[in-house]
Amino acid sequence: MKSGFNVKLVGLVMLFLFFLTALGAGMPGAAPCSVSPDQGVKQDLNSVFESPIEVSGYPYQEEFAKAAARYGLPLPFVLAVARGESFFDPEARSAKGALGIMQIMPKTAGDYGVEPDLLLNPATNIDVGVHLLSDLHKKFKDPYLTLAAYYCGPGGVEKDSGNVGKNCDEYVRYIHSHLKTIVADAKNGNVMEQKGLKRFVLASFDNFLDCRNFIQFIEDRIDGLRLDSFRKEVPYNDYVRYQYQVLVSYRNRGEKQRICAQVQERTGFAFCSM
């Protein structure tokens, strides 16, 4: 009984802390500010440029590999962007009008001489997205700033100081989490982007820090789960905000039920429906 009580107490404390952080992040009146890049994230991003790794098993990998080679970027870097933007969904559409695997805005496509209706073609979308990343990398000569500019535009980056807008920085950290998954899978010989692999939402948070901390909270208690984060649009009446979903991979209903039961047993809370 005591150990069960302790598990529930820890869970309550973690959820309370998540709530406080999310509440503070969502309060109005806090103007966006620039922040310095996280040096650990920066080092990881630089490392894939300095020491490229072999990856395999990703959707549209041939198209990604061709574009990465054509525009001089490491394949894992561009895969991380695609994974974070759409989980490789060629039909993804955002409320703001971004389209396809790399979530390209029609105006951006026009800058590269591509008609918007072609952005739902995977090869075309990938080519435009990787071309844009390459141009930004040539401009900023820094993978961290490149990702920030991909999301916020060049105006979100202070080239002289190397600082980026707070929202831009959160995006970089989010894409970095996908890069870490890609690199870890390559080193472990895993091919995880398999056909038939499903994902369900375990929890959602209003900022990436809470999402990342929750994933760590679950990983500390349960081995062997495949956890991911995904940034999802949540439309409101006159604006769109983002939530970060904690996703769990599974293959069939029985496996999902086992995962949900295990999460409830180890944390004391029923985060998902069985």
Query: Which residue ranges make up each domain of the chain?
Result: 36-189, 196-274
Secondary structure (3-state) at 16: helix
User: Are 12 and 147 spatial neighbours (Cβ–Cβ below 8 Å)?
Assistant: no
| C-alpha to C-alpha distance for 211 and 22, rounded to whole angstroms | 10
Say which DSSP state 121 is in. S
| Residue 70 token pair | 């054509």
| C-alpha to C-alpha distance for 125 and 102, rounded to whole angstroms | 6
| C-alpha to C-alpha distance for 120 and 91, rounded to whole angstroms | 6
CATH, domain range 36-189:
1.10.530.10
For the chain, where are the alpha helices, taking DSSP H only? 2-26, 39-50, 61-71, 75-86, 106-111, 122-140, 143-152, 166-188, 208-219, 253-267
Topology of domain 196-274 in CATH is Alpha-Beta Plaits (3.30.70)
Say which DSSP state 60 is in. T
In what order do the strands lie in the sheet containing 34-35? 34-35, 163-165, 157-158
Q: What is the pLDDT along the chain (274 residues), one digit of tens a residue?
A: 444 444 444 454 455 444 444 433 333 333 357 899 999 999 999 999 999 899 999 999 999 999 999 999 999 999 999 999 999 999 999 998 999 999 999 999 999 999 999 999 999 999 999 999 999 999 999 999 999 999 999 999 998 888 999 999 999 999 999 999 999 999 887 765 556 689 999 999 999 999 999 999 999 999 999 999 999 998 888 888 899 999 999 999 999 999 999 999 999 888 876 5
User: Are 244 and 258 spatial neighbours (Cβ–Cβ below 8 Å)?
Assistant: no
pLDDT at 25: 38
Give Cα separations from 208 to 10, 182, 258 (angstroms). 21, 18, 27
- pTM as predicted: 0.85
| C-alpha to C-alpha distance for 218 and 145, rounded to whole angstroms | 31
Radius of gyration of the chain (CA): 19
pLDDT at 193: 58
